[in-house]
């Protein structure tokens, strides 16, 4: 029994020894330490190497140079002295001395002087970790001069290369003067978007105002921005933005902003303490994971004019925002989606979908036949709501559309005839009649072909670059016939295009001309010109068929730097153009650019609108740059709608720009902008004007 126990203990010890050998890494299995210097001594018994004079040590991706070094080969610790320079994947660090471990990549640098893009930093002491640095009583800046124009003095700063910096007890110093104190400061290195800013100005509507923005990071995935604003004629305002960028939860943006208006100024007599609260609340989210997708947008405002008065650029893009949630799942041959859309503010007219469920299949081949089938099916709870009233119209709609096509090739023609049928059920029509249905029959045919020819042409003069020319002509025809719906659209509320379908007998004719050439061995579309027009065939009660608007699209690239594009619509009935647009862009020597554009459109009551735009950017010398923009409207009075001039000065680590902007009926605005080159969207603006500023 005793012998058996001794045997088991011996086997156990052997196994432990075997596993300790397997899971341990002997010193000679590690990466070798290469030490070069004018004098190198090896102390085998002490497991130590000492080198002096022009010392260079390489280990993995790290390179270290110094005047003297002591290397402990067993622990992989090193002590470097005199003109120390450490270079690895995190950056470049200089110092008077350093204690560093080659394996853990941790250590301490004395009198550190470091370059970690885009920052320069100096500190009496710095701690290095595998993926970050911690500096104490440090000065950091993006200015590369020995005496920088500005710097941030930080009691403690954490620098994570290619990610962010975190600083505590910060002084913002310009020259030798401290101009701002911050309890903490966070700046993303990889995120160069607009961050902290401070603006002073004056406008006709707001009066004198102060706008401040402070950006911070709650976590690595959540970025926050606080707003604290004051406007003499309106009162105090402020809010918060929270932005999330997460691999697991997608991207989200929450915004809340509120103004407590006291309505002073502009001749209004109102008590200072009579506050009118105006606000906006916004949330947007997008998430994708494999075949699952989610998009949502929610907007709530105190009144219909809030965006116009305080966020004019948002108002210009979309005066009325939507509220919806869209969830979808993609199958190999179909897409299933669910939409919820709800009006949140009574001062908007909107269409609600509570909910809308759709299944849309891709066109797929029917078994072994030459036919292809496609289906769209959806059920919707629809409500049309009118602004400022309780009037609404609602229905439940079930709609299905089936399409069968037969693509084939006949000689040089690609043909695709098709037939389809749409069946739609409504719980009621606009007159209140319940349980009604509608059927619509579709048919059509698509035709397409191509012709091409290559010409041996070579031109390189007068700004035109051509190396052989390939001319491709692509005529196409799309015929569509829709039979009379069994239920007139006049009886239906037009929630969307499905409810507005009427009889149709139309063919769309398209002719595409393309010229291709080669530049630097690559194919380039030298010229693309597309002409398109629909033709409506004669229907009952009409004297004959007629063409619709003739549209033109032209894009030309005569060489690698010149671009010209245009589009227009010609009205056959009026025998004149409905609208036309022309744009051209080309660079200038010494870093400059010229852009020009022309817009023509026929407005209400056949009043023509003609607008000409012109832009110029020019580098005057290495320090000064000029740009201007003009927008002229050729009405009866031929007035200049807008003009803007800007002069910028390169101040080494900063750009100073002086801008003057004038708009018709809005007045003149002028401001100074200081922008940090390393973070071009971060700066301080001092603005004065007589119009509502672009916030």
Q: Kindly state the DSSP code that residue 323 receives in the 8-state scheme.
A: -
Residue 669 lies inside a defined structural domain of this protein: yes
Range of the domain at 630: 588-695
Residue 59 lies inside a defined structural domain of this protein: no
Q: Kindly state the DSSP code that residue 90 receives in the 8-state scheme.
A: T
For the whole prediction, is pTM greater than 0.75? Answer: no
Residue 520 lies inside a defined structural domain of this protein: no
Pick the closest to residue 514 from 470, 478, 477 (CA basis).
Answer: 470
Instruction: Please state the domain count of the chain.
Output: 1
Q: What pLDDT is recorded for position 16?
A: 40
Q: What pLDDT digit, counting tens, does each position of 112-170 carry?
A: 998 877 788 999 999 988 888 999 999 988 887 778 878 889 999 998 887 778 888 88
Does residue 319 register a pLDDT over 90?
no
Q: How far from the centroid of its chain's Cα atoms is residue 193's Cα?
A: 11
In this structure, which long-range contacts are made by residues 440-443, counting pairs with CB atoms below 8 Å and at least 24 apart in sequence?
440/482, 440/483, 440/485, 440/486, 440/501, 441/482, 441/483, 442/403, 442/418, 442/480, 442/481, 442/482, 442/483, 443/417, 443/418, 443/419, 443/480, 443/481
Q: What pLDDT is recorded for position 669?
A: 67
Pick the closest to residue 493 from 395, 358, 398, 377 (CA basis).
Answer: 395
Dist. CA 128–CA 669, nearest whole Å: 49
Residue 269 lies inside a defined structural domain of this protein: no
Residue 331 lies inside a defined structural domain of this protein: no
Give the containing element (helix H, strand E) for 629: strand 624-633
The arithmetic mean of pLDDT across residues 547-572, rounded, is 89
Query: What mean pLDDT value characterizes the chain?
Result: 83
Residue 663 lies inside a defined structural domain of this protein: yes
Residue 593 lies inside a defined structural domain of this protein: yes
Q: What pLDDT is recorded for position 342?
A: 92
CB 429 within 8 A of CB 438: no
Residue 648 lies inside a defined structural domain of this protein: yes
CB 139 within 8 A of CB 153: yes
* Backbone torsions φ then ψ of 316, nearest 5 degrees: -65, -35
Q: What pLDDT digit, counting tens, does each position of 184-209 carry?
A: 777 777 765 555 666 676 777 777 77
């Amino acid at each position: 029994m005793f012998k058996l126990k001794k045997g088991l203990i011996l086997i156990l010890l052997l196994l432990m020894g075997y596993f300790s050998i397997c899971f341990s890494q002997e010193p000679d299995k590690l990466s070798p330490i290469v030490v070069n210097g004018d004098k190198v001594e090896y102390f085998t018994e002490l497991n130590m190497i000492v080198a002096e004079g022009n010392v260079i040590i390489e280990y993995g991706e790290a390179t270290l140079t110094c005047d003297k070094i002591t290397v402990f080969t067993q622990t992989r610790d090193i002590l470097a002295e005199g003109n120390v320079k450490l270079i690895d994947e995190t950056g470049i660090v200089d110092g008077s001395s350093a204690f560093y471990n080659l394996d853990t990549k941790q250590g301490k640098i004395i009198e550190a002087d470091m370059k970690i893009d885009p920052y320069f930093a100096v500190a009496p002491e710095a701690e290095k970790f595998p993926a970050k640095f911690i500096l104490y009583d440090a000065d950091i800046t993006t200015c590369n001069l020995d005496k920088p124009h500005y710097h941030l003095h930080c009691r403690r700063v954490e620098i994570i290369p290619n990610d962010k910096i975190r600083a505590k007890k910060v002084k913002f110093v310009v020259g030798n003067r401290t101009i701002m104190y911050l309890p903490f400061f966070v700046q993303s290195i990889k995120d160069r978007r607009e961050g902290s800013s401070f603006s002073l100005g004056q406008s006709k509507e707001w009066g004198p105002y102060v706008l401040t923005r402070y950006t911070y990071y709650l976590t690595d995935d959540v970025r926050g921005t606080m707003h604290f604003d004051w406007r003499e004629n309106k009162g105090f305002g402020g809010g918060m933005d929270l932005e999330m960028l997460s691999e697991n939860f997608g991207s989200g943006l929450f915004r809340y902003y509120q103004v407590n208006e006291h309505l002073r100024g502009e001749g209004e007599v109102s008590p200072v303490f009579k506050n009118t609260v105006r606000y906006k609340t916004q949330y947007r989210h997008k998430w994708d994971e494999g075949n699952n997708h989610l998009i949502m947008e929610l907007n709530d405002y105190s009144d219909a004019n809030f965006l116009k008065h305080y966020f004019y650029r948002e108002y210009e893009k979309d005066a009325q925002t939507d509220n919806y949630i869209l969830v979808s799942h993609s199958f190999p041959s179909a897409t299933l989606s669910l939409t919820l859309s709800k009006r949140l503010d009574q001062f908007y007219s909107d269409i609600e979908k509570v909910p809308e469920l759709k299944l849309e299949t891709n066109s797929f081949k029917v078994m072994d036949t030459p036919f292809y089938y496609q289906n769209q099916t959806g059920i919707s709870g629809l409500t049309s709501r009118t602004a400022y009233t309780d009037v609404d119209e609602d229905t439940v709609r079930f709609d299905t559309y089936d399409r069968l096509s037969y693509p084939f090739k006949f000689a040089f023609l690609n043909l695709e005839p098709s037939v389809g049928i749409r069946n739609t059920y409504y719980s009621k029509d606009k007159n209140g009649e319940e349980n009604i249905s509608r059927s619509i029959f579709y048919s059509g045919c698509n035709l397409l072909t191509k012709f091409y020819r290559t010409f041996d042409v070579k031109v390189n003069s007068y700004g035109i670059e051509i190396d052989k020319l390939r001319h491709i002509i692509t005529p196409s025809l799309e015929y569509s016939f829709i039979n009379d719906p069994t239920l007139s659209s006049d009886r239906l509320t037009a929630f969307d295009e499905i409810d507005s379908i009427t009889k149709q007998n139309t063919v769309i004719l398209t002719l595409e001309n393309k010229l291709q050439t080669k530049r630097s061995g690559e194919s380039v579309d030298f010229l693309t010109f597309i002409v398109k027009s629909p033709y409506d065939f004669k229907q009952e009660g009409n004297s004959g068929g007629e063409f619709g608007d003739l549209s033109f699209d032209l894009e030309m690239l005569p060489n690698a730097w010149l671009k010209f594009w245009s589009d227009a619509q010609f009205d056959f009935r009026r025998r004149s153009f409905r609208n036309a647009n022309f744009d051209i862009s080309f660079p200038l020597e010494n870093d400059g650019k010229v852009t020009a554009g022309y817009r023509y459109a026929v407005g209400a009551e056949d009043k023509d609108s003609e607008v000409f735009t012109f832009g110029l950017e020019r580098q005057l010398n290495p320090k000064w740059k000029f740009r201007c923009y003009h927008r002229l409207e050729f009405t009866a009075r031929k007035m200049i709608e807008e003009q803007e001039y800007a002069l910028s000065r390169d101040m080494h680590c900063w750009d100073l720009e002086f801008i003057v902007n004038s708009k018709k009926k809005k007045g003149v605005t002028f401001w100074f902008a200081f922008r940090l080159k390393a973070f071009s969207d971060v700066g301080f603006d001092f603005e004065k004007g007589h119009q509502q500023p672009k916030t």
